Amino acid sequence: MGEPIRVLVTGAAGQIAYSLLYSIAKGDVFGKEQPLVLVLLDITPMMTVLEGVVMELQDCALPLLREVIPTDKEEVAFKDLDIAILVGSMPRREGMERKDLLKANVKIFKSQGAALDKYAKKTVKVVVVGNPANTNCLIASKSAPSIPKENFSCLTRLDHNRAKSQIALKLGVTANDVKNVIIWGNHSSTQYPDVNHAKVNVKGKEVGVYEAIKDDSWLKGDFILTVQQRGAAVIKARKLSSAMSAAKAICDHVRDIWFGTPVGEFVSMGVISDGNSYGVPEDLLYSFPVVIKDKTWKFVEGLPINDFSREKMDLTAKELTEEKETAVEFLSSA
């Protein structure tokens, strides 16, 4: 076994982290040979709860977990990190305008970005989960100028997995039989789940999803709406936001960064849009199809985009541009 890697999870006393930490600590993400130091950051009022989480991690008696460090201090949390998973954010309260939500989160992610810049390894990989994830990620990156922009990504894998599973359910196949779905844009209800390039294995034969499903109106209508609004549907049913599925998606996202994507497959990730060939404006944190090799992602190039897709991709880019403009205004005053 090699040297332990340092992995930070923020919002560590929250419910996504509660599902996530066990998976990381038992080796589902970085492999069964990779020892870990887990650093857990949360706000001061959550420290007692966090102590309970630490006790439980100890009680799991996990061979890879070398140390657990609970803290409410950024200078402790961000020191020498290999990976930072930023789950904690200000949640949207009832009656709260999106603008107020942005303002509160700009403050958090400006501070965490600056801490990454000051204390973390320059090779650190940063994954932002806390919403509004795309814009929070952009703010963190802008606040950490010494860390390459490409090292920052935000989670749209949950949406990607939701899309994959809806297709699998419709066709009566397993989720593994479906590949290359795409989430374009923002992790919000304007995201565009695109299956024009997706393939499905039906009875040993690989076919396009449109060809397999033979129901274009469902694919262009209810399918998209279901994926876009799935988070709200879970909240309505559970009175709590997605945690188990969010944690699973984070594991998928980080494992793919660490080990790469399978040959012939691509995944969705929110990344910096600079240099993309899909007409998405520069300097946005936008979800694209990517392939990953040697811990480095690349855009999947050359996918033909039809008019239906173009309109949806532009709409979510417009929302992200507006969010960014609002956030950057707050950034100078935060």
Catalytic residue numbers read 187
Sequence ranges of the binding site = 42, 92, 98, 105, 129-131, 162
Helix (H/G/I), strand (E/B), else coil: 178: strand
| Distance, CA of 254 to CA of 263 (rounded, Å) | 17
DSSP 269: E
Sequence ranges of the binding site for substrate = 92, 98, 131, 162
Sequence ranges of the binding site for NAD(+) = 42, 105, 129-131
Q: Say if CB 135 and CB 320 are below 8 A apart.
A: yes
DSSP 169: H
DSSP 270: E
Helix (H/G/I), strand (E/B), else coil: 85: strand
* Burial of 181: CB neighbours in 10 Å, binned 0-12, 13-18, 19+: buried
What are the helix (H) ranges across the chain? 15-25, 47-59, 74-77, 98-119, 133-142, 157-171, 209-213, 216-220, 222-228, 230-238, 244-259, 307-333
**Cis peptide upstream of residue 132 (ω within 30 degrees of 0):** yes
83 CB-near residues (< 8 Å, 6+ apart): 5, 6, 7, 8, 124, 125, 126, 127, 254
For residue 48, report the phi and psi dihedrals to the nearest 5 degrees: -65, -45
